[in-house]
Amino acid sequence: MLLRILLLSVPIALLWMGITGQVTIESFAVGYVIGLLVLPLRPRIGTRAGRPFSLAQPLAFLEYAALIFWNGLVSSLQVVKLVLSPKLELRTGIVALQTGDTSEGQEMAALSAHGINMTPGQLVVDFDDRGTLYIHCLDFEASRNTLEPEQARRLRLLRRMLGVKEK
C-alpha cells in the first residue's frame, strides 16, 4: 500500500508541474506532497478489487498515451490530406469491430471506444452487449484494414493498465 502511494504520487507531481507551469524541484515536491496527502483518502485508486497493483500498469498507461497521441497525429494528417484534396474523395462507411474481450463486460468496449474516438476520421456510433463496436469512418477501406490490428494492441495495453491477465 505504501509503495503504491509513493509510486502513484509521481504522476500527480508531474501533473501538478504541468498545471502550474513551473518545472522546478519545488513544484515537483509540492505536487508529490499533494499526492501523498490525497492518495490515502482514496484506497484502491488505480486498481480494482482483487487485482494487485504492479509497475506494468503505469508503464502500460504511458505506452497507451503515446499510442493515442501517435494515432491522433497520423490520422489528423490523413484527414487534412482528404479534406484539402482538390477531389474530395471521402469513402465513408460504418465498420463493425469486435472488442475481442467480453470478460470485462462493456468496460473494454467503452475504453476501446475512447481510444477510437480520439482518432480523427473515426467515431464510434454504437456498441452492443456482445462487445461489437460500430465505427463511422471517413476512409472505409483504410479503416477496415487497420482497425483490427489496432484494436488488438489497444486491448493488450488496456488489460495491462487494468491489471487483467492476458488470455
Range of the domain at 11: 2-41
* Exposed e or buried b per residue across 59-82, where buried means at least 16 C-beta atoms within 10 angstroms of its C-beta: ebbebbeebbeebeeebeebbeeb
Give 89-116 as a 3 state SS string: CCECEEEEEECCCCCCCCHHHHHHHHHH
Asked whether residue 37 falls in the same domain as residue 61, the answer is no
CA distance 71 to 78: 10
- Quote the pLDDT of residue 45: 46
Asked whether residue 63 falls in the same domain as residue 23, the answer is no
- Quote the pLDDT of residue 29: 94
Q: Which has more pLDDT, 52 or 84? A: 84
In-domain check, residue 47: no
In-domain check, residue 50: no
Asked whether residue 70 falls in the same domain as residue 97, the answer is yes
Asked whether residue 157 falls in the same domain as residue 90, the answer is yes
Closest CA to 52 of 165, 167, 158: 165
pLDDT at 111 over 60: yes
pLDDT at 99 over 50: yes
Asked whether residue 37 falls in the same domain as residue 65, the answer is no
Asked whether residue 32 falls in the same domain as residue 87, the answer is no
Asked whether residue 118 falls in the same domain as residue 94, the answer is yes
What is the chain's mean pLDDT, rounded? 82
Asked whether residue 32 falls in the same domain as residue 77, the answer is no
Asked whether residue 10 falls in the same domain as residue 64, the answer is no
30-55 tens-digit pLDDT = 999 998 998 887 655 444 555 666 77
What is the crossing angle of helices 56-84 and 107-117, to 10°? 40
Q: Which has more pLDDT, 92 or 108? A: 92
Residue range 76-85: mean pLDDT, rounded: 84
Asked whether residue 142 falls in the same domain as residue 95, the answer is yes
Q: Which has more pLDDT, 97 or 56? A: 97
- Quote the pLDDT of residue 105: 57
Q: What would the DSSP string read from start to end of 22-59? A: --SHHHHHHHHHHHHHHGGGSTTTTS-TT----THHHH
Asked whether residue 69 falls in the same domain as residue 147, the answer is yes
**pTM for the full predicted model:** 0.63
86-97 tens-digit pLDDT = 887 778 899 998
In-domain check, residue 46: no
Q: List the single range of 21-25, 105-109, 143-147, 153-157 with lowest mean pLDDT.
A: 105-109
In-domain check, residue 119: yes
- Quote the pLDDT of residue 101: 66
